[in-house]
Amino acid sequence: EIVLTQSPATLSLSPGERATLSCRASQSVGNYLAWYQQKPGQAPRLLIYDASNRATGIPARFSGSGSGTDFTLTISSLEPEDFAVYYCQQRSNWPPYSFGQGTKLEIK
Amino acid sequence: EVQLVESGGGLVQPGGSLKLSCAASGFNFSIYWMSWVRQTPGKGLEWVANIKRDGSEKYYVGSVRGRFTVSRDNAKKSLYLQMDSLSAEDTAVYYCARASGVNANWFDPWGQGTLVIVSS
């Protein structure tokens, strides 16, 4: 099973700053990586698929990069509504799919 | 609007059974793989099961294989999860999700979730 490790566990930033979230896979997943945003009491929402493609309706300030084992989600300029928990997910070799443990992006 | 709405969660005793349902609307349900994903505070997000468009292929995470059964009714645009021999470790919010992409690569959208609590 492929393990995804996200870092940092918590990221404290201010609105307007740039956020960089990392996801590392225990073995190559190609570009089969997605990113989700989850706010309290809500279901996860797809942000990025296939490592770098924005899902429908996702603002351009969200971008994804990487391939193989190292991936990054970047939020270029944080808006107040961006503070949430972010998860990565792979499907390179399902079953099973796997998720990272999440990065909490909090207001500094 | 693409929408998924789960139901059927609740409190069940260890060893008991529960059946979750997910009603889909706003898209052609029969052409998509569908999934169940659960979330617990301790283990985070965990994929549970997938079912192919026509129900001919089903896949499960190891911890539920043999206890859970995923099924679908394309005419009713509904997805189901029959959960038997439940234990405390199955306590979670259960989400249904459309497995999107050419090879069911990612989950989009998700339902709002239904809470299952296994406790005596």
**Residue-wise pLDDT tens digits, B17-58:** 999 999 999 999 999 999 999 999 777 899 999 999 999 999
Secondary structure of chain A as H, E, C letters: CCCEEEECCEEEECCCCCEEEEEEECCCCCCCEEEEEECCCCCCEEEEECCCEECCCCCCCEEEEEECCEEEEEECCCCHHHCCEEEEEECCCCCCCEECCCEEEEEC
CA B111 to chain centre: 10
Model confidence over A51-98: pLDDT tens digits? 999 999 999 999 999 999 999 999 999 999 999 999 999 998 777 899
B108 to chain A, minimum CA–CA distance in Å?
A: 6
Chain B residue numbers with beta carbons less than 8 Å from the beta carbon of A49 are 100-101, 105-106, 108
Query: Nearest by CB to A50, which of B105, B112, B113?
Result: B105
- Tens of pLDDT, residue by residue over B53-81, are 999 999 999 999 999 999 999 999 999 99
Q: Residue A38: is its pLDDT beyond 90?
A: yes
**A56 phi and psi, to 5 degrees?**
-60, 130
Please give, rounded to a whole number of angstroms, the shortest distance from the CA of A80 to a CA of chain B: 23
> Does the beta-carbon distance from B44 to A32 stay under 8 Å?
no
Lowest mean per-residue pLDDT among B59-68, B88-97, B102-111: B102-111
CA distance B36 to chain A (A): 11
Q: What is the pLDDT of residue A94?
A: 77
Nearest CA in chain A to B51: A95
Asked if B96 and B39 touch (Cβ cutoff 8 Å), the reply is no
